[in-house]
């Protein structure tokens, strides 16, 4: 358990910046100390065991069936616990982990190039811009090898060499080849592996699956998480599910920006309801923005599509030097009128600078009015030089599928015209605060995968999201949750328990409200408005002024939403507007907290860039003496100010350095 104090006992010294209060610091007290390589083994040893005969009597609810949720469901089911698994999609196989393209890192050192768990740990801490916990990251690196073993045993068809050995590639600018991949569909293959393991447990009766179910409230009894309230999205029935522990594996919240590479249904509701019930939300402002996405083509745009980062190996990024050339046919702009801005500003790394830097540079040139394509929000990624140098067929064999995808979406032929790309929200490093056991500050509430905040710090390295999801699901959570379950079974809760009834009523009231407002604006119009505020003011570049404006605008939007939203239809059938209304309501509240977090963090680190904190050359400037901590936010209630709890980050093994790519 963590040493925390409830909000009421926080120092009552008024509001900081008029926005938040500061509460007592917190610490991750379950993480073992000592040599870093021994910590995980030690924790597994210290965590209490559950006798196989007793596991049948213990129940666990898992929300979400992505890599973390499906892996945890399968593993806990195999162990003999009673698992109930929930997903909003029609099948657990649809979870958005499926869309990950690149690969999964593991310190197997099959290439003999000097890789090790320690090197993967080091790279990840550095890549996270020194804002993650050393113990957690080392554990992630340590179990990474078991993930590959597990997946191969399940039949995940990783790429192979002709000799039958597993193939690896290097990814995300690291110097070793540690990324395992299955063409451009690694996420799909890993998820299907976990999904099949989960289906096997469903067939065995150890996991009960609830698809097309959405968690709308956390059930807390006497300060402990004991279940969830879920809506059957087909019949509209509000169901109560009670258990000894609840696991949220609900993914990231990138859809707060409306447009992102997330799936349409990805949402923060489960996490946000838990936050409102007391769970701390950590580092909400850490957002990863991916530089190579297909730009927005019009107002109707519903989502953004990522193009693999590998394109930057052979494509040259440029914009016209003069804004008025933006509408010209790019082939007619002569060489001397083009600005290859990454090559100009970062001669050492050129077009291969890290994601955050490439993204921000693209934003800067577009802000100068030199962007191309509809709305001036795009830069060229030009393969003309490569095609001339390597030949069209060589380029085609390397990138053919990506070029086809680009052409399908844009209708333009990238062999003839340069591609247009623009950054897009891709991943959120922030999430619910958890300790080393992946337990939130609410006893019995565990959080796994992208939904928690724990391993990536302020920036995530490529091919690490899949690693974390599966590490949490297969290896970490099943070994830590037992320490909590060993104390169970917990007292039986009845469905008419006042706490349960209250949670159910809260859900019902919200639904009734949405259906009765009968305002004038659709849910999507609010979501789009929120997304625009967030993207403009809490996106790639954040300033004190912008964030303050954003907070005011979000508050206005929130008030208007509750009074003026239009949700048609009824609650007893599939009602997609109703589903979205609940999600957008929570996104609006989260958006405000993200801005507050971004405002309070007056430094630039990883995916968080504050204009006030940059070097003379315009690079991110971290302030380790002031901000080397996790910002864990406690909800202030309906309209109360959030309360900040700081968890200091201590680096015993890795030295903190400023990044440079010039």
Partner 1 sequence: MKLTLKIWRQGGPSADGEMVTYPIEGVSEDMSFLEMLDVLNEELIAKGEEPVAFDSDCREGICGMCGLVINGQAHGPEVTTTCQLHMRSFSDGDEISIEPWRAEAFPVLKDLCVDRTSFDRIIQAGGYISANTGAAPDAAATLVPKDDADRAFMGAECIGCGACVAACPNASGMLFMGAKVTHLGELPQGQPERYARVVSMVDQHDAEGFGGCTNLGECSRACPKGIPLNVISQMNRDLQRAKLGKH
Which letter, b or e, does each residue of 406-441 get, where b requires 16 or more Cβ atoms within 10 Å of its Cβ?
A: beeebeeebeebbbbbbbbbbbbbbbbbbbbbbbbb
Q: Are strands 419-428 and 379-382 parallel, antiparallel or unpaired?
A: antiparallel
Q: Considering the complex, state which of residue 585 and residue 593 has its C-beta at the smaller distance from partner 1.
A: 585
Residues in the chain: 662
Report in angstroms how near the CB of residue 659 gets to partner 1 at its nearest: 31
CB atoms within 10 A of CB 381: 22
* First-last CA distance in the chain: 44
For 298-342, the three-class secondary structure string (H helix, E strand, C coil) is CCCCCCCCECCHHHHHCCEEEEECCHHHHHCCHHHCCHHHEECHH
Nearer to partner 1, 240 or 575 (CB): 575
Alpha-carbon distance of 412 to 395, in angstroms, equals: 17
Nearer to partner 1 (CB atom), residue 14 or residue 205: 205
Considering beta carbons, is residue 347 or 569 the nearer one to partner 1? 569
Identify the active-site residue in 21, 43, 316, 355: 355
Nearest approach in angstroms of CB 161 to partner 1 is 7
Report, in Å, the least distance between residue 544 CB and partner 1.
35
Q: Is 4 or 179 the residue whose CB approaches partner 1 more closely?
A: 179
- Shortest gap between Cβ of 263 and partner 1 (angstroms)? 4
Report the distance separating Cα 529 and Cα 551, nearest Å.
13
Supply the angle between the helices 117-127 and 134-154 in degrees, to the nearest 10: 120
CA-CA-CA-CA dihedral for 237, 240, 246, 252, to nearest 10 = 20
In angstroms, give the least distance from the CB of 164 to partner 1.
3
CB of 106 to partner 1, least distance (A): 9
Give the pair of three-digit tokens for residue 379: 């830069």
- Exposed (0-12), middle (13-18) or buried (19+): which is 626, by Cβ within 10 Å? exposed
Q: Is 110 helix (H, G, I), strand (E, B) or coil?
A: coil
What DSSP element (H or E) covers 60?
Answer: strand 59-63
CB of 447 to partner 1, least distance (A): 19
Is 460 a known active-site residue? no
Question: Given the complex with partner 1, which of 338 and 566 has the nearer CB atom?
Answer: 566
User: Whose Cβ is closer to partner 1: residue 11's or residue 157's?
Assistant: 157
Three-class DSSP category at 651: coil
Q: What is the rounded distance in angstroms from the CA atom of residue 200 to the CA atom of residue 187?
A: 20
Contact 55, 44 (CB under 8 A): no
The residues carrying an active-site annotation are 355
């Amino acid at each position: 358990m963590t040493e925390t104090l409830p909000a009421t006992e926080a120092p009552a010294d008024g509001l900081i910046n008029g926005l938040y209060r500061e509460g007592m610091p917190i610490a991750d007290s379950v993480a073992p100390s000592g040599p870093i390589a021994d910590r995980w083994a030690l924790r597994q040893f210290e965590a209490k065991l559950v006798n196989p005969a007793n596991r049948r009597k213990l129940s666990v609810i898992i929300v979400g069936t992505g890599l973390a949720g499906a892996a945890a469901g399968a593993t806990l089911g195999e162990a003999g616990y009673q698992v109930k698994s929930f997903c909003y999609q029609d099948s657990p196989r649809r979870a958005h982990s499926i869309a990950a393209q690149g690969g999964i890192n593991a310190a197997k050192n099959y290439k003999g190039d000097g890789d090790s768990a320690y090197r993967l740990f080091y790279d990840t801490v550095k890549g996270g811009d020194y804002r993650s916990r050393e113990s957690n990251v080392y554990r992630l690196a340590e179990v990474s090898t078991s993930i590959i073993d597990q997946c191969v045993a399940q039949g995940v068809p990783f790429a192979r060499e002709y000799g039958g050995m597993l193939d690896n590639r290097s990814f995300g600018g690291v110097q070793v080849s540690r990324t395992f991949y299955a063409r451009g569909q690694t996420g799909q293959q890993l998820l299907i592996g976990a999904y099949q393991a989960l289906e096997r447990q469903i067939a065995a009766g150890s996991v009960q699956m609830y698809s097309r179910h959405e968690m709308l409230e956390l059930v807390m009894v006497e300060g402990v998480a004991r279940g969830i309230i879920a809506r059957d999205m087909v019949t509209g029935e509000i169901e109560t599910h009670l258990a000894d522990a609840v696991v949220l594996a609900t993914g990231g919240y990138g859809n707060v920006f409306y447009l992102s590479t997330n799936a349409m249904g990805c949402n923060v509701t489960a996490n946000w309801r838990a936050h409102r019930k007391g769970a701390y939300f950590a580092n909400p402002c850490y957002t990863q923005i991916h530089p190579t996405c297909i730009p927005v083509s019009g107002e109707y745009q519903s989502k953004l599509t990522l193009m693999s980062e590998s394109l930057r190996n052979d494509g040259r990024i440029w914009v016209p030097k003069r804004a008025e050339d933006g509408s010209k046919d790019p082939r007619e702009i002569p060489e001397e009128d083009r600005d290859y801005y990454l090559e100009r500003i970062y001669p050492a790394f050129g077009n291969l600078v890290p994601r955050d830097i490439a993204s921000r540079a693209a934003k800067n040139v577009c802000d100068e009015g030199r962007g191309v394509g509809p709305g001036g929000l795009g830069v060229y990624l030009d393969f003309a030089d490569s095609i001339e140098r390597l030949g069209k067929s060589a380029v085609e064999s390397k990138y053919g599928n990506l070029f086809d995808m680009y052409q399908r979406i844009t209708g333009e032929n990238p062999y003839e015209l340069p591609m247009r790309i623009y950054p897009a929200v891709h991943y959120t490093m922030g999430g619910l605060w958890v300790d080393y056991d992946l337990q939130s500050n609410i006893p019995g509430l565990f959080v796994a995968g992208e939904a928690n905040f724990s391993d990536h710090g302020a920036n995530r390295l490529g091919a690490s999201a899949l690693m974390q999801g599966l590490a949490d699901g297969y290896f970490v959570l099943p070994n830590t949750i037992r320490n909590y379950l060993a104390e169970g079974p917990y007292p039986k809760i009845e469905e008419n328990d006042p706490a349960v009834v209250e949670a159910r009523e809260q859900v019902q009231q919200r639904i009734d409200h949405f259906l009765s407002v009968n305002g004038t604006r659709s849910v999507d119009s609010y979501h789009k408005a929120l997304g625009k505020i967030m993207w403009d003011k809490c996106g790639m570049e954040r300033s004190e002024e912008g964030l303050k404006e954003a907070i005011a605008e979000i508050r206005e939007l929130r008030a208007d939403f509750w009074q003026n939203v239009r949700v048609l239809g009824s609650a007893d059938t599939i009602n997609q507007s109703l589903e979205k209304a609940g999600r957008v309501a929570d996104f609006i509240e989260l958006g405000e907290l993200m801005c507050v977090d971004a405002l309070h963090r007056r430094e630039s680190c990883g995916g968080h860039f504050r204009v006030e904190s940059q070097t003379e050359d315009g690079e991110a400037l971290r302030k380790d003496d002031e901000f080397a901590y996790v910002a864990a936010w406690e909800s202030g209630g309906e309209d109360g100010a959030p309360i900040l709890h700081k968890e200091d980050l201590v680096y015993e093994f890795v030295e903190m350095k400023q990044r440079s790519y010039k």
